[in-house]
Structure 1
């Protein structure tokens, strides 16, 4: 948990000058990685409601970072996609993150990184499957 909190603080230091919240940056990241999505698709896997995601998407659209496009598979539901401005903003943010990570001199091999990725992936899957009885 301490690492997670350190990463959150570091992310806010790197991107805090931006008016975008962490949640908005997450939506942009998903659009970049996954391509155009509906609001319900973007909301899946997030611990927030579709209405909350819709508010974030509307903000991104009003800021010119995302746009609505016609959804050929559904008449009433539109797709959200990144604009070139949104893509450029994400790439700029990732550039700052990469520069920081490169400055850490971790001396990790590709095998080390792959092992860490595998462990974190298994942990995430286990946590997603875990149900807390309420």
Structure 2
């Protein structure tokens, strides 16, 4: 049985509700970022390096421009993070068969170990989220955030 809660909201009603999402998302992002910064000194990972390593863990070798597009951050920032990761021997550049001038960046064994350690520690922290959340709740959250992200896909980050 469908209720008014299940009906799509018109834009004038949707916009203030999505602003509520931003109002929660901003502080959440800042708290998680701070927690990562406080907990990652052993691996030598800044939030930016952690993001690069996780992206490579998830998608495999990528170019710096591909990583920038995937994370909606500037290529220059990604390059600095890749350089920092390379200084810790977490990543290495390898030839790119599709483009001679744009190397692929891939995880090293040390990088794989570092990001796997971080993910395991973060997963343990996420298990502390209490409540009666369901898989459907999480699916809805991801759908809403993805829709919001898609709405701003035209914003240039470079």
Same structural fold, with TM-score higher than 0.5 when normalized by the shorter chain: yes
Q: Is 1:24 paired with 2:45?
A: no
Gaps of 5+ in 2: 1-25
Residue pair 1:71, 1:79 contacting (<8 A) in 2 also: yes
Residue 147 (structure 2) aligned to one of 107, 122, 127 = 122
Q: Is 1:47 paired with 2:73?
A: yes
Residue pair 1:14, 1:97 contacting (<8 A) in 2 also: no
> How many angstroms does 1:129 deviate by?
4.0
Residue pair 1:66, 1:80 contacting (<8 A) in 2 also: yes
Number of aligned residues: 130
Q: Secondary structure at the match of 1:103?
A: coil
> How many angstroms does 1:27 deviate by?
1.1
For the pair shown, the structure with the greater C-alpha radius of gyration is 2
Q: Is 1:95 paired with 2:95?
A: no
> How many angstroms does 1:100 deviate by?
0.9
Residue 63 (structure 2) aligned to one of 38, 41, 60 = 38
In structure 2, distance between residues paired with 1:128 and 1:75 = 28
Q: Give the direction of change, closer, same or farther, for the CA distance of 1:36–1:14 in structure 2 (3 Å limit).
A: same
Q: Secondary structure at the match of 2:126?
A: helix
Q: Give the direction of change, closer, same or farther, for the CA distance of 1:117–1:43 in structure 2 (3 Å limit).
A: closer
In structure 2, distance between residues paired with 1:4 and 1:52 = 19
Gaps of 5+ in 1: none
Q: Secondary structure at the match of 1:8?
A: helix
In structure 2, distance between residues paired with 1:10 and 1:106 = 21
Query: Where do residues 72-91 of structure 1 align in structure 2 (5 Å cutoff)?
Result: 72-91=97-116
Residue pair 1:68, 1:81 contacting (<8 A) in 2 also: yes
TM-score (norm 1): 0.82
Residue pair 2:44, 2:88 contacting (<8 A) in 1 also: no
Q: Give the direction of change, closer, same or farther, for the CA distance of 1:31–1:120 in structure 2 (3 Å limit).
A: same
